[in-house]
Amino acid sequence: MEIKVVRRIMEANEQHAEVVRRRLREAGVIALNLISAPGSGKTSLIECAIRELKGKVNIGVIEGDPDTTRDAERIARLDVPVVQINTEGGCHLEATMVLRALDEIDLNALQLLFIENVGNLVCPVVFDLGESHRVAVVSAAEGHDKPAKYPALFRTAQVTVLNKVDLIPYLDFDESQFTADVRRLNPDMPILRVSCRTGEGMAEWVRWLEGLLNKEAVMQ
Amino acid sequence: MEIKVVRRIMEANEQHAEVVRRRLREAGVIALNLISAPGSGKTSLIECAIRELKGKVNIGVIEGDPDTTRDAERIARLDVPVVQINTEGGCHLEATMVLRALDEIDLNALQLLFIENVGNLVCPVVFDLGESHRVAVVSAAEGHDKPAKYPALFRTAQVTVLNKVDLIPYLDFDESQFTADVRRLNPDMPILRVSCRTGEGMAEWVRWLEGLLNKEAVMQ
C-alpha cells in the first residue's frame, strides 16, 4: 500500500518533469537544478554567474526554500526575474512546483534558468525537475567524506562544484580523497574548485555555463 | 489517500518512540538525538564528549547514515559500544530503526546514548525517536541564516550547538543575527559556541551533558 502511493507520486512527478522539459526545449532554455546541503553556497554561486553573464545571457531563477524569501530577495536585487517556491517545511522541490513557477516567468525571454533546490543532500536527488543538468554543490567545510556518504547525488549530477576552497587551509579537508570518491561514483564528471567569497574559480564556473549555452546554440 | 498513509506512518512512529522512551527510562539512560545538515560536525561533537567523559560516564552511540559505516568506525576506535543504522539512501531515522538498534546494545550498562541522525535539517525533525533531548547542531560555515530558513528544528530542540566557531574570522557570519533568530524561535534554549577542531567551548558542551546526567540521578 505504502509502496503503491510512493510509486504514484514518482510517476506523477515524472509526467510533470516531462512537461517542464518540453517547455524548456521549446523556449531554448537551459535549466540547472542546484542540489546541496544547507549553506553550501548555492545562492552565492547563482549571484556570481548573474554578475558575470549580465548583458550577455538572459538569466532567470527559481528559488526553493522550506521557509523565508531571503534568497529570492538576494537574487531580485540583481534585477533578474526570480520566483520563490516556499515548500512550507517540505524537504525537496517537485516538478509540479517548477511547472507552477514557470507560469510566472517569460521563458521565451531567457536562455538560462537556475533552479535552487531545498538544502538537502538526500530527498531532492530522487525528484527529476525536468532540468537540463544537475549541479552538485559541496562546501569544503562540510568535509571530504560527503560524496561517499551521500553517493546518489554525485552519481546523477553532471558537474560537482566544490565551494569555499578558501577555507581549506583552516580545515582537515582531504581533497585527494574527495576527488577520488567523486571519480569513483562518476568518472567523467568535471569538478570545479571555487570560492564565491574570494572569486577563485569563478572564471571556470562561468566558462562551464557558457559551454552549455554554446552547445544549445549549435543544436538549434 | 496519501494523507492517510502519512498519518499511519507517523502514528506507528509515535508508538515505537514510546517504546524506546520506556526502555530508556527503565534503564536510566539519557538519549540525545543530534540533528544537523551534512558535515556540521555531529560525529566530532560525540567523539569529544566520549574523550572528556571516559571513565566517568558510560556512553553508547547509534550512528545513522544513508551509506557507509565511516562514522561508526570513527566511534568504535574510542572503544565504546556503537551500532550503525544504514538507511540505504533514506533521509532520516525513525523510531523503529532505533528500537532494532537497542537490541544490539546493553542499555543497563549505559548512562548516556548519542543518536546521530542522518545529515538533514528537514526530514529528521518530524520523527520522534523517543529521545530525552534533541540537539540542533549548526556549523558557522553554513551561514547565520540557517535558523530562519529551517525553523522547525530550532523550535523543537533543547540546545543549539554552534560548531566551527574557529572559522568565523574567515566567514561573513553575522552571529548576532544567528542568535536573534534562534532566540525568536526558542527564547530559553541554550546556545553553545564550540570548535571541535580547536577545543573551544568543549568544557561548556561537557558541562551541559553532565547537567543532564545529574538531573537524571536526582530523579531516580
Which chain A residue shows the shortest CA-CA distance from B4? A2
pLDDT at A89: 84
Residue type, A63: E
Whole-number pLDDT of residue A1 = 43
Q: What is the reported pLDDT for B219?
A: 66
ipTM associated with this complex: 0.89
Domain locations in chain A? 2-219
* CA gap A147, A175 in Å, rounded: 12
Q: How many C-beta neighbours within 10 Å does residue A68 have?
A: 16
Contacts of A197 (CB under 8 A, 6+ apart): A44, A164, A166, B171, B172
Buried b (16+ CB within 10 A) or exposed e, A110-139: bbbbbbbbbbbbbbbbebbbbbbebbbbbb
Residues of A in contact with B66 (CB under 8 A): 122, 149-150, 152
- Report angle CA A121, A152, A130 to the nearest 5 degrees: 80
State the burial class of residue B216 (Cβ atoms within 10 Å of its Cβ: 0-12, 13-18, 19+).
middle
pLDDT at residue number B10: 86
Give the pLDDT score at B1. Answer: 42
For residues B220 and B207, give the distance between their C-alpha atoms in angstroms, rounded to a whole number.
20
**For range B94-117, the mean pLDDT:** 97
Average pLDDT over residues B124-139: 97
Residue B217 scores a pLDDT above 90: no
Contact A53, A133 (CB under 8 A): no
Q: CA of A39: which chain B residue's CA is closest? A: B142
- With beta carbons less than 8 A apart as the criterion, state whether B119 and A36 touch: no
Give dist(CA B29, CA B219) in Å, integer. Answer: 12
State the amino acid at position A71 in one-letter form: D
Which chain B residues are Cβ-neighbours of A68 within 8 angstroms? 145, 148-149
* Partner-chain contact A67 B148, CB within 8 Å: yes
| pLDDT tens per residue across span A39-70 | 999 999 999 999 999 999 999 999 998 888 88
C-alpha cell at A1: 500500500
* pTM for this prediction: 0.93
Q: Calculate helix-pair angle for B2-27, B95-102, nearest 10 degrees.
A: 30
What residues in A contact B9, CB-CB < 8 Å?
2
pLDDT digits (tens, 9 = 90+) for A85-106: 999 888 999 999 999 999 999 9
Element (H or E) spanning B156, and its range?
Answer: helix B151-156
Q: How far is CA A51 from CA A76, A108, A201, B217, in A?
A: 12, 21, 14, 59
Share of chain B above pLDDT 90, in %: 87
Q: Which amino acid is at B192?
A: L
Residue A8 has pLDDT above 90, yes or no: no
A123 touches chain B (CB under 8 A): yes
- A-chain CB neighbours of B10 within 8 Å are none
A76 touches chain B (CB under 8 A): no
State pLDDT tens for residues B30-88: 999 999 999 999 999 999 999 999 999 999 999 998 888 889 999 999 999 999 999 98
Query: For the segment B133-166, what is each residue's pLDDT rounded down to a tens digit?
Result: 999 999 999 999 999 999 999 999 999 999 999 9
With beta carbons less than 8 A apart as the criterion, state whether A122 and A22 touch. Answer: no
C-alpha–C-alpha distance, residues B127 and A191, integer Å: 35
Please enumerate in sequence order all residues whose Cβ is within 8 A of that of A41, keeping only pairs 6 or more positions apart, or say none. Answer: A137, A139, A163, A164, A196
Q: What mean pLDDT is predicted for residues B194-205?
A: 97
The fold of the B2-219 domain, in CATH, is Rossmann fold (3.40.50)
Question: What is each CA distance from A63 to A116, B53, B93, in whole angstroms?
Answer: 5, 44, 28
